A and B are shown apart, each in its own frame.
Chain A
Amino acid sequence: MNNILCIKWGDKYDDSYVEKLKEQCEANCSVPFKFWCFTDKPTKDWHIPIPTTLDEFYDEDRGFFWAYRKCYMFKHQIPGDNRYFSDNSKFLFLDLDVIIHQDLKYFFDLPNDKPWIVRGWWNDIHTVKQNYAKHKSTPLNSSVIVWKKGQMMPVWDHVVKHPEVVFFTSPSLDNYLAHHWYDPWKEDGGFLRGFPQGDIYSWYKGNIFPHDMEKKKIREDHKICLFNNSSQTEGVNTDEIKELW
């Protein structure tokens, strides 16, 4: 079974983002799927309450923006929820602030020997390597992730085994994933595999370094446009995407 997941907590995004994402998926996916939203305010049958077991390890005062709640999706069974996903389930996670240009079937048809994640091709790989030990300039972006059931369990297991160190050391989930589950020096050799160039681009950062870096440009020949922007103040959303829905 194909599943599309999203997650919403706090006040950064209003409910219209979830509804719009659901609408976009229904309009752009030619294979059957179920849509789920992990939320801190569940009201619908396709809402899954976000667990809270990791809350105690996250220190907001450190100023890091750690989307650790995404990690609950990686578990075999959602903590505190009795919904069961069959063993052959496939998952496509989408951030709320994306624009879908093309058929999402593509993502469910990808070879599933490894999980897939956004490799931000707009990053200069030399900068990524230069800042690697500083936990800056991550090449990964967790706005879109594809995996089959159980495949991301090692990530969940690692986070729950070392939550204090993980949350203290990595400034973001993307950074954590890039350090522990991806290898910028051997890009095909890590646990996670990046979507190929031409699949996903960034509204605020561009597409492919160095030759296609025009910002705020729609590329409809790509599958998805991302709107998350690390230069924005965390927790603040410009709603610029709404003008393009």
Chain B
Amino acid sequence: MVDHIKFTVDTAEDWKSALSLADKEDYKQCMKRIRDASTYSQLQSKLWLVSEIVNLGINIDRVLLIAGWYANFINPLLVDELGVKYILNLEIDPDVIKFSYKFNKRYKMHNISEQKCFYECKLHDVMYKPVSTANFDLVINTSCEHMYPMSRFRKLNENKNYLYVLQSTDDEQWDDHINCVSGPDELAEQAELVDIMYSGTKELNNGMKRFMVIGR
């Protein structure tokens, strides 16, 4: 079980750099969201995700994050625990791009040969356009409750046989939870997964029930 994140000196430097940017007047709208992305529950759900991938013993080099937000927790976990070499995060919020690069600068250094992983974050709404970059071993979407069902993504990228890790919730109290599901079965159904390798539910520290499915 993966139960912690490695807080290295490079990680400390990157996170300080992100927080310094949030101190600036032009970005003052971002601080609350950074706090929201840095909670016990956020880390809990990412540790759960990576633990289950480790349990399944799957080799993963290239990961696509859908709406991966700042990727402040998931990236170091993917790199340190799974040895992931390339991560692409597709987001719809221009501020997120700037901050996710700050949080993950160590994966975007000048000398690629010395990096463990290469990270990119791009503006791209996956429900309107197919993914143009080459194949990925794993597609991670931990924000399914915020968007149209994943069947749409599959349809737009139908020639690609991705492995998916999806998370969602039944917590309907938030306006932006536009696509809550009743449980992992409905989550898998929405994504039209046929080969399900993991399916589970976890109550997070903030009381939210999260569902996760892994499959193709």
Q: Which residues of A contact B (CB under 8 A)?
A: 62, 126-127, 129-130, 132-136, 162, 164-165, 168-169, 171, 179, 185
Give the distance in Å from the alpha carbon of A165 to the alpha carbon of B179 in the complex.
12
Q: Is the CB of A168 within 8 A of B33?
A: no
Give the distance in Å from the alpha carbon of A134 to the alpha carbon of B152 in the complex.
20
Q: Is the CB of A133 within 8 A of B92?
A: yes
- Chain A residue contacts of B198, Cβ below 8 A: none
Give the distance in Å from the alpha carbon of A54 to the alpha carbon of B107 in the complex.
46
Q: Is the CB of B33 within 8 A of A130?
A: yes
- Chain A residue contacts of B91, Cβ below 8 A: 133
30 contacts between A and B (CB under 8 A): A62-B178, A126-B28, A126-B29, A127-B29, A129-B29, A130-B29, A130-B32, A132-B92, A132-B93, A133-B67, A133-B96, A133-B146, A133-B176, A134-B176, A135-B176, A136-B176, A162-B127, A162-B128, A164-B148, A165-B127, A165-B148, A168-B148, A168-B178, A168-B179, A169-B127, A169-B147, A169-B148, A169-B178, A179-B92, A185-B94
Give the distance in Å from the alpha carbon of A236 to the alpha carbon of B110 in the complex.
58
Contact check: which of B30, B127, B152 meets A130 at CB < 8 Å?
B30
- Produce 1/0 per residue, B72-96, CB < 8 A to A: 0000000000000000000111111
How many B residues touch the partner, as a band? 20 to 34
Q: In chain B, what residue has the closest Cβ to A186?
A: B94
Q: Is B3 an interface residue (CB 8 A)?
A: no
Whole-angstrom distance between the Cβ of A68 and the nearest chain B Cβ: 16
Q: In chain B, what residue has the closest Cβ to A126?
A: B29
- Chain A residue contacts of B67, Cβ below 8 A: 133
- Chain B residue contacts of A126, Cβ below 8 A: 28-29
Give the distance in Å from the alpha carbon of A169 to the alpha carbon of B149 in the complex.
10
- Produce 1/0 per residue, B93-116, CB < 8 A to A: 111100000000000000000000
- Produce 1/0 per residue, B172-185, CB < 8 A to A: 00011011000000
